[in-house]
Amino acid sequence: MDFGSILIMLVTLFVLAGSASWVFSRFGVPGLIGEILIGIAIANLTIGDWSFLGMLDIRIGDDPSQNYEIVELLAQLGAVFLLFSVGLETKARELLSVGRAATLVATLGVVLPFFAGFALMQLYDGNMHHALFLGAAMVATSVGITARVIKDMRMMDTKEAKIVIGAAVIDDVQGMVVLAIVVGMTASGEASASNIVLVSAVALAFVALALASALWIVPRVYRYFEERKKKRSTAIRKRHRSDKLVLAIAVCLGFAWISDTIGLAAIIGAFLGGMLLADYAREWKLEEKMESITALFISFFFLNVGMQVNLGDMANITVIALAAVVILIAVATKYIGCGLGARLGDKTLSKGSRNIIGIGMVPRGEVGLIIAAIGLASGAISSEIYGVVVLMAVLTTIIAPPFFARAFRKEYPLERGRGQEI
């Protein structure tokens, strides 16, 4: 391992991402868009013989270089820490209070895009596998992107934010079930019912267990230690300042691992782990502490989203036309499905609130990319369809945040001071 080569890569990427984020946020655009665009530039820019990838010893693809594997690892950890931070600000009690609306938003936001994507590909090339995977890739909402915009705008305490985050979590669980069904169907020609039931049951049990722990078990453990602490002297109590952060990081990584092991995305576990500690996050100053750690990692996540776009593969009129239609359908079905879900789920929501929720669910980001990668690896989809899915995931991610921020500002005009912080 060449530490010097890794260091120069980390510095270069970190400085480029930080500068792009800073410039974009100056113009009122969420900084993450700058980071994604810089990622696209890094992966695709060549001047004569020179390229960023060559300079930084980054090789993306089937046989990635060690430097790129490090970027990928930091990116995945960044998403995990970000979702943990979001979890820290999501109290289980409050999430359940928007449960009905969030469930309807999530479900309609899964059903509509899946069938629209499926129908489109059946019309395009009639390939069943292509149709199944494109449908699946259009299903899952990227809670990471939306969560960052919400956090940046300090809107976590609004009802709309809670519905969007809650629906995105439910969405991801449903997305994993859809993925399991699709993988089962492409492998055997038909979905194995027992496999679908198993995946759904495990996913639901995990979420339910985490919610139950947050509501009943964690508060009891906390009270037990508080009682014990009161009996001891103040001097001892003051000693272990950094223990709480170590505990938090352990919970974050541990839940991410459990989630990954049972076949859900690691970020779902991280989110649930954060939720477990949400009631004590302020007292233990976990939010600020995790913010520093997230700041170090998260730029690599957005850089990597951009770096996976191969502009060369996209320079083809059929692919561009297909991508344009897919993106239009992806945006429209998610917006309509989720808006409809919000209307059915909570009659008190205004038109502006439904608009926020519809837009907030549009970005596909990392989960769409994961599904596309699985499809490509299993040979179920072509590299052309893969490119379209990547473009769809990236563009819905780029398009949505400014509109999302504007919708929030329109609905909460009195709180202008809470503008972009990134």
User: Contact residues for a copy of itself (CB under 8 A)?
Assistant: 1, 3-4, 6-8, 10-11, 14-15, 18, 22, 25, 64, 66, 69-70, 72-73, 76, 235, 238-243, 245-247, 249-250, 253-254, 256-257, 260-261, 266, 288-293, 295-296, 417, 419-422
When the beta carbons of 73 and 217 are compared against a copy of itself, the nearer one is 73
When the beta carbons of 101 and 268 are compared against a copy of itself, the nearer one is 268
CB of 373 to a copy of itself, least distance (A): 12
When the beta carbons of 291 and 384 are compared against a copy of itself, the nearer one is 291
CB of 46 to a copy of itself, least distance (A): 24
Pull the structure tokens for residue 201.
């049951």
CB of 247 to a copy of itself, least distance (A): 8
Quickly list DSSP for 236-302. HHHH-TTHHHHHHHHHHHHHHHHHHHTTS-HHHHHHHHHHHTGGGTTTTTHHHHHHHHHHHHHHHHH
CB of 383 to a copy of itself, least distance (A): 20
CB of 358 to a copy of itself, least distance (A): 28
Type of residue numbered 220:
R
The answer to whether the CB of 408 falls within 8 A of the CB of 356 is yes
Using DSSP, state whether 46 is helix, strand or coil.
strand
Question: How many Å apart are CA 374 and CA 5, to the nearest integer?
Answer: 30
Q: How far apart are the first and last CA of the chain?
A: 34
Please choose, from the candidates 365, 367, 357, 337, the residue with its C-alpha nearest in 3D space to the C-alpha of residue 403. 357
Any idea which residue has 């492998």 for tokens? 187
When the beta carbons of 214 and 256 are compared against a copy of itself, the nearer one is 256
CB of 13 to a copy of itself, least distance (A): 10
The answer to whether the CB of 139 falls within 8 A of the CB of 110 is yes
CB of 385 to a copy of itself, least distance (A): 24
Quickly list DSSP for 116-171. HHHHHHHHHT--HHHHHHHHHHTT---HHHHHHHHHHTT-TTSHHHHHHHHHHHHH
CB of 127 to a copy of itself, least distance (A): 30
- Tell me how far the alpha carbon of residue 343 is from its chain's centroid: 24
Please choose, from the candidates 313, 402, 413, the residue with its C-alpha nearest in 3D space to the C-alpha of residue 32. 402
Question: How many Å apart are CA 85 and CA 301, to the nearest integer?
Answer: 15
Region of residue 263 (left: phi > 0; alpha: psi -120 to 50; beta: else): left
When the beta carbons of 157 and 421 are compared against a copy of itself, the nearer one is 421
CB of 147 to a copy of itself, least distance (A): 16
When the beta carbons of 208 and 246 are compared against a copy of itself, the nearer one is 246
The answer to whether the CB of 20 falls within 8 A of the CB of 32 is no
